[in-house]
Amino acid sequence: MRGIAEISKMKQDYETIPVPLELKQRVKEGIEQAKKEEDEEEGKIMKGKRISKRAALGLKITGGAAAALVALTLISNLNAPAARAMENIPLLGSIVKVVTFRTFESSEKEMSAKVKIPEVEVRDSAGKKNDAATKKINDAVDQYTQKIIDQYKADVEAVNGEGKEEVSVDYQVVTDNARLYSLKIDTVIALNTSGITVKIYHIDKETGKMVQLKDMFKEGTKYLSVLTEEIKNQMRQRMAEDDQEMYFIDDEDMPETNWKGLTEDANFYINKKGNLVFAFDKYEAAPGYMGTCEFEIPQELIKDMVKEEYFVK
């Protein structure tokens, strides 16, 4: 097998390619440049987030605030049967509200976590609590937030509390229209850089059921590919219009880093205009400095595919 012997010679030649002295330094320069750029980008994002949200809200919300929320729910619930009696037609729609929340707080030297876990209540139009629907959404939220808490605890344990980490979880009602109630959970996990994750839960007020992306569209429609194309077009347009905008798309150099397209578990909500909006995690489709990003889908594009009842203002 002479061929093999020659190829072995080739390997020998490869292994004896002399390595210049400055090589290590050059590698370090590449690493440092990338790290510096990334950290600068992270720094900007973190500062923005902090001041706008958390400081304004105040971190500790006491029992008083929670009680006020409960009272609010009661009043609107009391109104419901009265309204029905007056018009004598069955009122569509459940009443969905965040009635209270629990917090998980922990801090060890430079590690801390503040996790707010909202508790939702679903009542039917008569004001009667829908236990099954209430339990379902709360269980989903609990499971999701518990995972974050568990990960934090595991991190603390792994480094004996000597690490640097900051976890904060907050929520926001992003849709509350005639038909849908959507609750968004925002998670910011800061180590040296920070990850921002979004998760949105939806309740159909008419059925009390939790709604997913596929429920918003008529069966058999190719909404995922249509939406993916639209979002890609928006990314390209934004990049063309603004040098500062950058998305993981059309990179021939590293195709594995490109955004893979929309999936069933994509996070979305219906905005005040009644338009479908997709919310992306940080890093999901763009470099860290872009933070989280959103894409609003024009109604015209999907009007033949959607179940119109969900697309209300």
What does the per-residue mask of binding to other proteins show for 84-123, with x meaning CB under 8 A? ----------------------------------------
Pick between residue 56 and residue 254 the one whose CB is nearest to other proteins: 254
Pick between residue 141 and residue 285 the one whose CB is nearest to other proteins: 285
Contact in structure between 93 and 206 (CB atoms under 8 Å):
yes
Q: Which two tokens stand for residue 12?
A: 């020998």
Q: For the chain, how many residues are written?
A: 313
Contact in structure between 256 and 264 (CB atoms under 8 Å):
no
d(CA 31, CA 263) in angstroms, rounded, equals 33
Pick between residue 3 and residue 63 the one whose CB is nearest to other proteins: 3
Write the DSSP symbol of residue 215. Answer: G
Pick between residue 119 and residue 155 the one whose CB is nearest to other proteins: 155
Pick between residue 115 and residue 306 the one whose CB is nearest to other proteins: 115
Residues 145 to 174 in contact with other proteins, rule: CB under 8 A: 151, 155, 165
Contacting residue, 15, 219, 242, 304, with other proteins by CB under 8 A? 15
**Smallest separation, CB 183 to other proteins (Å):** 24
Secondary structure, 3-state, 81-92? HHHHHHHCCCCC
Kindly indicate which of the ranges 5-13, 129-137, 178-186, 234-242 contains the residues binding other proteins, using the contact rule CB under 8 A: 5-13
**Smallest separation, CB 44 to other proteins (Å):** 16
What does the per-residue mask of binding to other proteins show for 26-55, with x meaning CB under 8 A? xxxxxx-xxx-xx-----------------
Residue 294: name the closest of 306, 312, 282 by CA.
Answer: 282
**Smallest separation, CB 116 to other proteins (Å):** 19
Contact in structure between 138 and 120 (CB atoms under 8 Å):
yes
d(CA 272, CA 274) in angstroms, rounded, equals 5
Q: Is 281 in the site for other proteins (CB under 8 A)?
A: no
**Smallest separation, CB 249 to other proteins (Å):** 13
Output the CA angle 24-27-29, nearest 5 degrees.
110
Contact in structure between 149 and 168 (CB atoms under 8 Å):
no
Contact in structure between 297 and 271 (CB atoms under 8 Å):
no
**48, 51, 56, 62 alpha-carbon torsion, rounded to 10°:** 110
Residues 171 to 230 in contact with other proteins, rule: CB under 8 A: 189, 191-193, 195
**Smallest separation, CB 41 to other proteins (Å):** 10
Binding site for other proteins (CB under 8 A): 2-4, 6-7, 9-11, 13-20, 22-24, 26-31, 33-35, 37-38, 151, 155, 165, 189, 191-193, 195, 248, 253-257, 283, 287-288
